């Protein structure tokens, strides 16, 4: 787990999460959540009951929508304030879980058919590698992984960590956050390196911002163990 991920979690725990929840109350981004909900629903097989786990669910909007539609979904986070917010929204299956440190099987007891990691830009390349391994091991055969990454193409000003991660450590201009936050940016080549041997690409597109390219969005399918070895 990188020092930046740790610092970000500390920042959220020491007031940043309340600030995040407050911004969300002012601008609930309803259309964006509906779009994501439909994207997830369309990716899922229609003919079987699936177990869904969302990593880093924050306020829990997506998990709440999935639960409301009858899906078996568990929302998670590592920050207590976010877990309380998820409870307040009525989510019934909630786990405190740090996907970079905690043992998946101990926390969840069984594998998932879909794992979602949405808008978690606070991970450098090494943290991402770990996340991909954890998701691979946490999924049933043919399980799906939905993830988005901030696009390095729209951040030419970014600095570079020794491990090659493009990043900023900054106050958000549009939201005027009190503390700096770590934002990592990824290229298509970075994503290719992360997913090869582990996942096949089911769907890929860009979205967000004026030019609809702020984020890479992917649905991935777990490749067989043979491909991994
Ligand atoms: C920018 S917020 C996004 C929350 C939500 N997914 C959304 O789209 O609004 C990032 C979330 O990831 C969580 N997070 C960051 N690092 C984590 C880790 N190592 N394990 C679990 N959650 C983590 C944070 O606590 C926070 O809730």
Question: Residue 48's pLDDT is what?
Answer: 82
Q: How far is the CA of 106 from the centre of ligand 1 (A)?
A: 20
Question: Residue 221's pLDDT is what?
Answer: 98
Query: Residue 152 and residue 186: Cα distance in Å, rounded?
Result: 5
Question: Residue 177's pLDDT is what?
Answer: 67
pLDDT at 218 over 90: yes
Identify the band that residue 210 occupies on the pLDDT scale cut at 50, 70 and 90.
very high
Query: Residue 6 and residue 182: Cα distance in Å, rounded?
Result: 10
Of 61-75, 135-149, 163-177, the one with minimum mean pLDDT is 163-177
- pLDDT tens digits, 1-25: 999 999 999 999 999 999 999 999 9
Model-level pTM?
0.96
Question: Residue 200's pLDDT is what?
Answer: 97
Question: Could you list the residue range(s) of the whole structural domain that residue 195 is in?
Answer: 3-43+50-228
Q: Which two tokens stand for residue 74?
A: 């568990």
The CATH number given to whatever domain includes residue 190 is: 3.40.50.150
Question: Residue 47's pLDDT is what?
Answer: 81
In the chain, how many domains are there?
1
Q: How far is the CA of 1 from the centre of ligand 1 (A)?
A: 14
- pLDDT tens digits, 93-124: 999 999 999 999 999 999 999 999 999 999 99
Smallest Cα–Cα separation from 146: which of 97, 77, 47, 215? 215
pLDDT at 227 over 80: no
Question: Residue 146's pLDDT is what?
Answer: 98
List pocket residues of ligand 1, CB cut-off 6 Å. Answer: 5, 8-9, 12, 55-59, 77-79, 82, 98-100, 118-120, 122
- pLDDT tens digits, 154-181: 999 999 999 999 999 987 767 666 778 8
What is the sign, positive or negative, of the torsion defined by CA atoms of 98, 111, 150, 23? Answer: negative
Collapsing DSSP to helix, strand or coil, 66 comes out as helix
Q: How far is the CA of 181 from the centre of ligand 1 (A)?
A: 12
């Amino acid at each position: 787990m990188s020092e930046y991920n740790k610092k970000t979690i500390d920042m959220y725990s020491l007031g940043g999460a309340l600030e995040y929840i407050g911004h969300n109350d002012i601008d609930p981004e309803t259309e964006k959540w509906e779009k994501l909900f439909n994207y997830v629903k369309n990716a899922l097989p229609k003919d079987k009951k699936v177990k869904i786990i969302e990593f880093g669910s924050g306020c829990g909007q997506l998990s709440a929508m999935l639960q409301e539609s009858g899906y078996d979904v568990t929302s998670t986070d590592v920050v207590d304030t976010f877990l309380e917010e998820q409870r307040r929204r009525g989510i019934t299956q909630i786990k405190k879980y740090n996907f970079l440190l905690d043992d998946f099987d101990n926390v969840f007891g069984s594998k998932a058919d879909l794992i979602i990691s949405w808008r978690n830009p606070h991970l450098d390349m090494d943290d991402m590698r770990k996340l991909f391994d954890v998701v691979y091991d946490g999924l049933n055969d043919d399980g799906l992984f939905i993830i988005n990454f901030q696009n390095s193409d729209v951040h030419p000003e970014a600095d570079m960590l020794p491990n090659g991660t493009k990043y900023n450590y900054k106050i958000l201009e549009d939201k005027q956050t009190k503390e700096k936050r770590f934002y990592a940016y990824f290229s298509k080549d970075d994503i290719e390196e992360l997913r090869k041997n582990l996942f096949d690409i089911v769907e890929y597109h860009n979205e967000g911002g004026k030019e609809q390219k702020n984020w890479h969005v992917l649905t991935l399918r777990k490749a067989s163990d043979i491909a991994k070895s």
